Chain A
């Protein structure tokens, strides 16, 4: 297994999500690849630090002192009768006319549904009732605590659909998507709009920039963007100069905008890692412009040896050594 492929799977390994043959192949590679072992150790240190510090960070997030009191004081008006209750009342009074009208409507809906279902493709309806409830809840007018009406319009949902169907952030590499090709979440908030143009197997984006910030081509898939960014980065003369003496250990692509001090990139960013002669690690950050096919910004970052990267765990106070008791006979 190549190091690139292994590096792609490191986060899954950290999350203990690798299993079966994937895990066996992964671990077999680790046994014979010291560079990948070092890479894993670095991620494991980060994982350990996150486990240690994030709970405290999470618990520090507290609302204002009067928040809970205000919540308890909120008035909850009984939900207005739903469409079913409303129609039931009308049905009781006008059965014949309703029956004729509903039959006609049913036939029309059936024809439309059959025609559209082939376009929409597979829909995951495992949480159908919940998603319907959620969608209805979001679409219904809501009142804020101050009595103002907040209406979620279909336009908002369409915008969310636009957000999440474009420019998906991915570091999956060109070797193949790490997503679940068979898993489609087109139900629920904003994902079940009939006008969705994304094919069933497209991964719903994790990236939520506004429309004007989306730096990636809409015509390219995540895999294509990643492959293209790698290709452009490796073809760059400066990158080749840096890599002249050493093969790159790994090449990853980040598509989310990133800013590190004086280096910024709207994506995609190719992160090329190589080994230095003195076992230091260097990252070459190559900000790629897909339109021009060039690297528009380049930075090389040299890391210290792994032992210096992270400080020791926090809040460790060595226990005081007890003083020896005086000899009672003296």
Chain B
């Protein structure tokens, strides 16, 4: 289940809305790692993700007074981080002017896995982790939120500010792509 705000956290949000910086600071501590993980999942870069999270918290501090539903802070914060991360990604893509900068096009290093079979039982974890990294950003983030927070598609849709139908379709495509990457490359005709 996605992080649900406790009564204490709702109180922190309430105090933050009144300008209590210490309360906001505690909110920040509670959500910093999650925010970082969301940003990193999109950007795949530690420095960029940290910058984005800092920007996101500044934005959140400035606009928290207008947050009507205090209990929805986690998904609200998730949306801010997601938006900031995508903004950062687009700026980098414009700067690089390269298709490779987009995680929509990617290569799965099949030759390495075939040439260097490992007897390590954790191989499948590594393969799965690599396969997930190769998914497009939204697919990757959807899978990570689904299975790390046990989030429902509705909860993910709220966090990522997408229609629930889109998230269901994204999850469906993710399953198919992961199966292809994990299974479809083992044997060729």
Contacts and interface: CB of A to CB of B under 8 A. Distances in A.
Given A138-B83, A213-B104, A206 B169 contact: yes
Interface in A298-326: 299-304, 309-311, 314-315
B188 A17 contact: no
Interface in B101-148: 102, 104-108, 110-111, 121-125, 128-129, 132, 136-139, 143-144, 146-148
Contacts of A54: 132, 143-144, 146-148
A78 B111 CA distance: 55
A216 to B, nearest CB: 12
Contacts of A256: 104, 136, 139, 173, 177
A15 B168 contact: yes
A185 B157 CA distance: 10
A168 B173 CA distance: 12
Contact of B54 (A61, A145, A156): A145
Interface in A163-181: 163, 168-172, 177-180
B165 to A, nearest CB: 3
B15 interface: no
Contact of A271 (B24, B132, B148, B176): B176
B188 to A, nearest CB: 6
Given A46-B182, A61-B37, A189 B79 contact: yes
A190 B124 CA distance: 39
A133 B76 CA distance: 10
Interface in A1-53: 8, 10-12, 14-15, 17, 42-43, 46-47, 49-51, 53
A180 B164 contact: yes
Contact of A133 (B63, B137, B161): B63
Contact of A169 (B28, B108, B173, B184): B173
Contacts of B72: 130
Nearest to A255: B173
B18 interface: no
Interface residues of A, number: 105
Interface in A41-95: 42-43, 46-47, 49-51, 53-59, 61-64, 67-68, 70-72, 74, 76, 78-79
Nearest to B36: A63
Given A130-B76, A183-B164, A261-B110, A252 B187 contact: no
B173 A254 contact: yes
Contacts of A170: 169, 173
Q: Chain B: interface residue count, which band?
A: 35 or more
Contacts of A258: 177, 180
A150 interface: yes
Interface of B is mostly: helix
B139 to A, nearest CB: 7
Interface of B: 19, 21, 24-25, 28-29, 32-33, 36-37, 40-41, 46, 49-51, 53-55, 57-63, 65-69, 72, 76, 79-80, 83, 86-87, 90, 93, 99, 102, 104-108, 110-111, 121-125, 128-129, 132, 136-139, 143-144, 146-148, 152-153, 161-173, 175-189
Interface of A: 8, 10-12, 14-15, 17, 42-43, 46-47, 49-51, 53-59, 61-64, 67-68, 70-72, 74, 76, 78-79, 127, 129-130, 132-134, 136-138, 140, 142-145, 150, 152, 156, 159-160, 163, 168-172, 177-180, 183-185, 188-191, 203-210, 212-213, 252, 254, 256-261, 264, 266, 271, 282-283, 285, 299-304, 309-311, 314-315
6 interchain residue pairs of minimum CB distance: A179-B165, A133-B66, A137-B63, A58-B148, A54-B147, A261-B110
8 contacts: A130-B69, A137-B60, A209-B104, A210-B104, A258-B177, A259-B108, A260-B181, A302-B189
